[in-house]
Structure 1
Amino acid sequence: MCVVGATVGKLNLSIDCAIGRSVAAVRPRIGLNTKYLYFILMPFTLRLRSGSRGSAQGVIGKAELSAIKIRVPSGSEQSHIVAKVDELMVLCDRLEEQQQDRRKLQNALRQSTLQALASAESPHELQESWQRLQTHFGRLFSEPGDVRDFKGLVLDLAVNGRLLPPSSAPALAADLIDQIARARVAWADVAEEQEKKEAVAMLKKLRTQHATVPNAALPDHWCWASLLQVSQAVVDCHNKTAPYVEEGIHLVRTTDIRDGRMDLTNTRKISEETYAYWARRMPPKAGDIFFTREAPMGEAAIVPDGQRVCLGQRSMLIRLFPELFSNRYLLYVIQSPSFQSRMIEAAIGMTVKHLRVGGVEDLMIPVPPRDEQNQIVQIVDRLFELCDHHAEGIGRSLRVAANLAGATVAALTGIAVGADEEPPLKAPQTELIAPLRLGTLPDVKDQAPLATLLARHQGEMSARDLWQRFGGEIDAFYVQLKTEVEHGWIEDPSYELGPNAPKGPRTYPDGVLVAKMKIKQEA
């Protein structure tokens, strides 16, 4: 039985093996059927996992385990019970297998339908594929996550001009690129001080840039252009950790940008003095795009109105001429699977893929005329609204089904079980604020579960997220963290927080090193 962490309460019949950490072994005394004991313990573990028995800390102690009371019928009745449960379990396994087979068929059908839509070569084929998708939409999408594939297809079709009606006399995208180039020269003529330096640097980079044009076909009046060519300026961040303050200006880190949105609810804050230095090259303004080039790579979001924000590490600022190029259209391009594929090909790094500044500037963008950019944004917005509405309906249906199943189990057994509930982990009294980053990639044989998790998640994660994925007690997490930092598998997250930061090492209970890290002490 697992007795610690996110898997607390899970149990299985043992084989010839040793007991690992966070696991307890229960051996029945003579006369008690092992499989009967296994089955009879299940209701207890279900209560534990649903939070009705001491699972708030995500741990079950030996005393609690020893105190479990079970009903023990005669040996023959135990055998009959085990036989009946085995018989019913076979039916459950068969049902689960049928559901899995159905899911595989559904995934294959959805992928083939979407592929047919993506590869349509004529308006007639495109119309037929759309009709087929619309007719079978309910059969193709049965989970909220399924809709993500469809959104990706919508973006690819949109940014390749395949969702727009044909135009008799379209404007030329090449003329738009010329307009942007002239606007950039005019900006350089009137800019002053630091802005002048950025404008001149942009012109110099463009004169020497040699970007590779993709082979993908575009409408005849569209063209390919680099991110540098469509922008007024592309500016890298100040790649150092800023000193934080309690209240101040939002420092937008890569973890604050997800799925095209900038989340300002949990940002770190910096002072006016820090902002003046960190944003000295180009203070962000509403409408700018923040683009992450590492940890994770390829996320983007638009700076909202009425907010003062600053670029965090591993991110870049993209400023457009808004009257010439739509930031919403560019955001959709960045989110499209085709752009993400080109970006991954351009990335470097053996363990954690990332983009150089020049690699970001060279990324290629499909460029339509300005009015078509607006049309594309409107079409995508409308289709995404329909997708979100359908995803919400799927979510409601799944919740109804889960509630019905839970009510049925409760009626039959008296055990209230939530759908997919995991027992909450014990919150630490002190919390490590510093982000954790992958150091030297450990060998397969090394006992480095935390570094392994970081490697799977772009090489960086907040301490809280890493602890929750680790699944163990907070004390065990910090012990393991110290070990992996000492081996160099995880970078030492120590850093100075400013003139008032503590200079000496701090310790977590049991002597775990938390040197120079910002500590949030709960009341």
Structure 2
Amino acid sequence: MNAETFLENFGHLADAPGGVKKLREMILQLAVQGKLVEQDPNDEPAERELERIAKARRELVAKGNVRSSKQMPLPDLDEAPFLIPPSWQWTRIGSLMEKMGAGSTPLGGRKVYVDQGVPFLRSQNVWNDGLRLDGVARIPKDIHERMAGTHVHARDVLLNITGASIGRCAVVPDPFASANVSQHVAILRPIERRFSDFLHLCVISRFFQERVMRVQVGVSREGLSMTRLRHFPVPFPPLAEQRRIVAKVDELMSLCDELEARQQERNRVRVRLNEAALDRLTTAGDDDELTAAWTRVRSHFDTLYTVPENVAALRQAILQLAVQGKLVEQDPNDEPASLLLSDVESLRSQLVSQNCMPNYHPQEELDTTRFRCFLPPTWEWAQLGALISLMDSGWSPKCDDHPTTSPQQWGVLKTTAVQPLRYDAMQHKQLPAKLEPRRQHEVQAGDLLITRAGPRQRVGISCVVTETRPRLMISDKIIRFHLLSDALLPDFIVLCLNAGVSQGFLEEQKSGMAASQMNIAQTKLRRTPMPIAPTNEQRRIVERVRQLMSLCDDLEARLAQQQSDADRLTEAMVAEVLEGAAAGVGA
């Protein structure tokens, strides 16, 4: 099958979601089933090569170079996962190996690593497309020599046998200087080194990977045992055909690389178009520009929003328009926000005089001239601290690493309970029975929550608690606050904190030693600039955002369903091709 024929028959699969990945899987499966290249009747049958390998193995055993083991029977038809051409033969991996075993870790572990020395290959260095040696660990030469049993040779096949990367595999290039290997990686050294490349194709193919997953389920950190691996069945073609198969796979995988690059470029263009369209929408200077920008988005909607991921940018644009006063029309009959804020200030002064709350003294006045955002005439800027009556954080005791099993048990909210505009009570850990709950930290309906500590992308996120189960406490990484007046809608305030100038300010205030350990102090949070709309307009904005977010939910669900349908169709087409290939072999 040449590249043109392959594209003609299967190229359309590449345009489906995940299509190129499915093409790669299909190429490998066709390769190991003997349907990727034609068989040549002049090739020496695999049986004769296997006889020579068996003889060479007996000689190695006699010399003491290979440990003696029982003769393994050939796989029977029931054990073979598919039919293969008559000139091929099923065998077992262990029957083909001069060496087969896991690596080892030097005494002292990481403490013996050096800047200059012999490469020490670990699972993070072994990938299906080859060894990746950037940042490879190194060990002293004398330790490497003492670990003689795990030296790596050219043409070895390295296989990850533990952890999340189990099943990942690479062929050691030739020439190769020297290296050693950790206990998380197995060395497979074929007696016939020309078999290494085809063995690699077998290992990374679906039939082999599925078997790895089956036998390692429930296994502890030891992962895939050598005993089990030795008995894995593998197809063995004539060596000449192996070379043709490997060359054809390389050719078709390069073609897949090109298809994938084109697909990624199309996606990048689509993202750039989407960003440009939404940027025009959110930076429109007047009603005419806003109308023109929205018309442009609406006209190209089917092009811009073809995958669920692109809808996230649309959601953010909706929030941006909402907090700029561009999402709903202003009503001249609405009481302006200046009067609302005056009433809030009077209420705050009254509560302070009654010792019901501490006074708020802004460290600096708001400089609205630096905001590249022009509010409608009826809106006003205010600092968050001037709008709130309560601000506190919770308690973070050492909890059980699981949620409660009953609402009668106490739990502590994780920061992931606070999502943009959404509260998730399921995100909590159980308070140990030996600890007394601190009821003053129990979350209540009406609380506004914002995350103050954690990874950068998780800090400064806020939501309103509309309803919650009892006996859940906020942690000390979550700040809770209440608004002074009912004229300030919690849902509107949270919209502002999640978009526009307010969100940008919060991003600037994050500090910490690393991106994984950031925080925002309460004093900085209180200084957050907030665009305040008239109360009636706040209601209209909140309702409009709710409607549009619901439409975004529907759009994401529809796109996800389309993608799922396309995935199933692609899977079915690939399965049909492979079943046809299997039938052709047995014909």
TM-score, reference length from structure 1: 0.70
The answer for the alignment partner of 2:567 in structure 1 is 402
Alignment-derived partner of residue 12 in structure 1: 170
CA contact (8 A) 1:242 1:274 kept: no
Partner Cα distance (1:229, 1:354) in 2: 22
- Pair 1:329-2:486 in alignment: no
In structure 2, distance between residues paired with 1:273 and 1:185: 39
1:40, distance to aligned residue in structure 2 (A): 2.2
| Contact 1:226–1:363 under 8 Å retained in 2 | yes
Work out the CA distance in 1 between the residues paired with 2:551 and 2:350.
42
Among 337, 344, 347, the alignment partner of 1:180 is 344
Alpha-carbon shift at residue 384 of structure 1 (Å): 0.8
| CA deviation vs aligned residue, 1:44-93 (integer Å, no higher than 9, x gap) | 443147x4444454832222222222222222222222233233223322
What is residue 206 of structure 2 aligned with on the other side?
43
Task: Give the Cα–Cα distance (whole angstroms) in 2 for the partners of residues 13 and 345 of structure 1.
Answer: 48
- Aligned equivalents of 1:207, 1:81: Cα separation in 2: 73
Decide which moves more: 367-376 or 113-122: 113-122
* Superposed counterparts of 1:38-437, under 5 Å: 38-41=200-203, 42-48=205-211, 51-57=213-219, 59-188=223-352, 196=355, 199-201=356-358, 203=359, 205-206=360-361, 210-213=365-368, 214-215=370-371, 216-231=373-388, 233-241=389-397, 247-269=408-430, 274-275=436-437, 278-279=440-441, 284-295=443-454, 296-305=458-467, 307-308=469-470, 309-321=472-484, 323-336=486-499, 338-351=501-514, 352-413=517-578
Residues 305-348 of structure 1 deviation map (CA, whole Å, 9 limit, x = unaligned)? 36434321122211124521101111111221543221021223
Aligned pair in 2 of structure 1 residues 20, 410: CA closer, same or farther (>3 Å)?
Answer: farther
Instruction: Specify the SS of the correspondent of 1:353.
Output: strand
- Please give the secondary structure, in 2, of the residue aligned with 1:200: coil
Shift of 1:259: 2.9
AA in 2 matched with 1:260: L
Contact (CA 8 Å) 1:328, 1:377: kept in 2 or not? yes
Report deviation, 1:155.
0.5
Check the 8 A contact 2:399/2:429 in 1, yes or no: no
Distance in 2, matches of 1:67 and 1:219, equals 74
Q: SS state of the match for residue 304, structure 1?
A: coil
For the 8 Å contact 1:234–1:316, the answer to whether it is kept is no
Cα contact 1:286–1:307 (8 A) shared by 2: no
CA distance, structure 1, for counterparts of residue 411 and residue 485 of structure 2: 24
Q: Residue 379 of structure 2 contacts residue 531 of structure 2 at CA under 8 Å; is this kept in 1?
A: yes
Q: Secondary structure at the match of 2:189?
A: coil
Q: 1:28, CA displacement in angstroms? A: 2.5
Matched letter for residue 255 of structure 1: T
CA distance in 1, matches of 2:182, 2:326: 56
Cα deviation for residue 375 of structure 1 reads: 0.8
* Number of aligned residues: 401
Given residue 305 of structure 1, which amino acid in structure 2 is its aligned partner? Answer: E
Whole-angstrom CA distance in 2 between matches of 1:408 and 1:18:
43
Structure 1 distance, partners of 2:378, 2:390, is 26
Q: How far apart in 2 are the matches of 1:158 and 1:37?
A: 58
Secondary structure, counterpart of 1:225 in structure 2: strand
| Alpha-carbon distance between aligned partners in 1 of 2:240 and 2:310, rounded to the nearest angstrom | 49
> 2:54 aligns to what?
none
Amino acid at match of 2:321: L
Equivalence for 1:491: none
Conserved in 1, the CA contact under 8 Å of 2:198 and 2:242?
A: yes
Q: Distance in 2 between matches of 1:120 and 1:114?
A: 10
- After superposition, the C-alpha distances for 1:83-139 in whole angstroms (9 at most, x for unaligned) are 332332233222112111111111111111111112211211111111111122222
Deviation at 1:207, TM superposition (A): 6.7
Task: Please state whether the residue corresponding to 1:7 is helix, strand or coil.
Answer: coil
Looking at structure 1, the residues matched to 250 and 473 of structure 2 have their Cα atoms a distance apart, in angstroms, of: 61
CA distance, structure 2, for counterparts of residue 85 and residue 391 of structure 1: 37
CA 90–200 in structure 1, closer or farther in 2 if over 3 Å, else same: closer
Letter in 2 for 1:355: I
User: Percent identical across equivalent pairs?
Assistant: 23
Separation in 2 of the partners of 1:319 and 1:177? 16
Give the Cα–Cα distance (whole angstroms) in 1 for the partners of residues 366 and 478 of structure 2. Answer: 21
Q: Residues 289 and 300 of structure 1 are in contact (CA less than 8 Å); yes or no, is this contact kept in structure 2? A: yes
Question: Given the superposition, is the C-alpha separation of residues 132 and 207 from structure 1 closer, same or farther in structure 2, using an over 3 Å criterion?
Answer: closer
- Conserved in 2, the CA contact under 8 Å of 1:256 and 1:267? yes
Could you list the per-position Cα deviations for residues 222-279 of structure 1 after superposition, in whole angstroms to 9, with x for gaps in the alignment?
1111111122x13222455277898434432323222332222252355899455643
Alpha carbons of 1:334 and 1:37: their partners in 2 closer, same or farther (altered >3 Å)?
Answer: same
Report the Cα distance in structure 2 between the residues aligned to 1:25 and 1:273, rounded to whole angstroms. Answer: 51
Q: Which amino acid aligns with 1:254?
A: T
Larger Rg: 2
For 1:26 and 1:312, the matched residues in 2 are separated by: 50
* TM-score, with length taken from structure 2: 0.63
Secondary structure of the residue aligned to 1:130 is helix
C-alpha root-mean-square deviation of aligned residues, in Å?
2.9
Give a deviation string over 1:9-52, Cα, whole Å, max 9, x none. 12233344543552223233226432222212223443147x44
- CA drift of 1:374 comes to 0.6
CA gap of 1:45–1:335, structure 2 versus 1, over 3 A, is farther
Structure 1 residue runs of 5 or longer lacking an equivalent are 191-195, 416-523
Q: Does 1:26 align with 2:185?
A: no
Tell me if the contact between 1:252 and 1:310 (Cα under 8 Å) persists in the aligned partners.
Answer: yes
1:7–1:124 CA distance, 2 compared to 1 (3 A): same
SS at match of 1:291: strand
Please give the alpha-carbon distance, in whole angstroms, between the structure 1 residues aligned to 2:263 and 2:491. Answer: 40
